[in-house]
Amino acid sequence: MRMLLSDWARVADFYTITFKAGWFSSIGPINIIVNLIDDISPSRNVKMYITKNILFLAFVSLFSSTEVFSSRSIPCGLRPRGTLQLLRRKRDLQPAIIGGKETRTHSIPWQASLRNKASNRHFCGGSVIDDIFIITAAHCVDETALSSVKIVLGDHSISREDSTERTYFPNRFIIHPNYTKDPPENDLALIELTEAIEFSDAISPICLPTARPSSGQSCIVSGWGSTRDQRSIHWEDSSDVLREANVPIRDHETCSNQNHWGPLVTSKMICVGNSHVGTCFGDSGGPLFCNDGGSKNYYYLAGVTSFGDGYKNLETGDAWCSNSETYPDVHTSVESYIAWINSYLQGPRVTDSLVERLMQQMTVLQVGKFI
C-alpha cells in the first residue's frame, strides 16, 4: 500500500514520541541524524521527509541480520565434547604445545588461527570474543600488513580443510594505545573483521572475565605452536593439529620477584605453568582460559599469550622454549583491560553497505524545495 502525503505528515507528528524518546537510539547513524534535525529546526514538511528515510534505515538495521551485528544472546564459553582424530601421521605423535595433548576436534570453538594469506602459514593464535572481534597479542599484528592476514575459525588441522572451517579477513587492527614491545607491556590487540562471524557448534565466543583466576587454579592454554622444548626445533615449525595443556596459575608476587621475572611482570599480567608445560612459538595471542567453577560450567578468557623464556635465531632457525619453574609463561590479563575492550564491543555495529545506503538516502533529501 502506498502511503499518501497526509500519512507521512502524521508520521512526522510522532517524530518526538519515537526518535526523541530513544526507541532507535542504539543505531548510531540514526541517532546522529536525529540530533542534526534538532540543530537545524526544520519545517514540518522537512521533518516528515527525513522521518520517512530514518524509518527506512531503522527497519533495515533492526531486521537485517547480515548487515548489522547479530544477537549478543549467544552463549559464550561453552566447550562441545568434540571427537578425537583417529588418523594422525607419526610426526604428530609428539607432546602437544609443551607437555600437552591434541584437543578433541572443535572442542575449543573460540580458537582462532592467524595466518599468512598467501602461504596459509599459521603465525599466531587468537580468540573469538564477539561476532565481529578477535582478540590477540599486539606483537602478533603491530608490524603486520593488514592485507597479508586471514583469520581461520572452526579449524582443527591446518593441512586438512574441515567442513566447519571458515575464513575471515581483518578490517583493522586495534592495538592497545599503551603497547610497548620492549619491555612487553599492554600486549593486547583487537582484530575487527570485515563481516560478522557465522556462529556454529564449531565457532562460538568465549566469555570475558569478571575477575582474575586465583593462584593455584588449573586453567588451559591452546594453540598450533611449536610442540617441543628442544634447541633443535625451527622457530617457524608449528603443530598441524590444535593442542591444549593444563597449566596452574602462578602466584604473582613470586613470579614478579627478583628470582624470577622481576619487574618485567606487572600487575596486568598472569604467570602460568610448570616446568616443560606451556606455550611456545606460534601460540602467541592464543587463549589462557579457565572454568568458572559454577553450575553453568562455562569458560572465560583469563589471559592472552604474551611471552616466555624462549630463544630464536633468525639466521639459523634454531629455537627453544624452556617453560621453566624460574621463568614461567606470561599472559596479558584480560580482566585488566575490560573497559578498553568494551569500548569497542559495546555500541552500534553498522557495516559498510548500510552506511552506503544511509548516504544514498541522505543525498535525496532536497531540503531546499520544502522550505
Catalytic residue list: 139, 187, 284
- Assign 3-class secondary structure to 156-167: CECCCCCCCCEE
Set of cell numbers at residue 5: 502525503
Set of cell numbers at residue 341: 575492550
Which is nearest to 220 in space by CA: 246, 253, 188, 186? 246
Are 334 and 209 in contact by the 8 Å Cβ rule? The answer is yes
- State the sign of the Cα–Cα–Cα–Cα dihedral 201, 191, 175, 284: positive
Beta-carbon contacts of 307 under 8 Å, excluding residues fewer than 6 positions away, are 184, 187, 284, 329, 330
Are 91 and 187 in contact by the 8 Å Cβ rule? The answer is no
Q: Looking at this protein, which amino acid is placed at residue 113? A: S
Give the three-class secondary structure for 84.
Answer: coil
Which is nearest to 54 in space by CA: 3, 18, 101? 18
DSSP state of 327: S
Which is nearest to 99 in space by CA: 336, 324, 318? 324
Are 128 and 113 in contact by the 8 Å Cβ rule? The answer is no
- Pairwise CA distance, residues 363 & 259, whole Å: 66
Are 245 and 130 in contact by the 8 Å Cβ rule? The answer is no
Set of cell numbers at residue 97: 604445545
Which is nearest to 307 in space by CA: 270, 263, 334? 270
Are 184 and 139 in contact by the 8 Å Cβ rule? The answer is yes
- Pairwise CA distance, residues 193 & 195, whole Å: 5
Q: How far, in Å, are 101, 196, 230, 334, 359 from residue 306 at the CA level?
A: 21, 27, 20, 12, 42
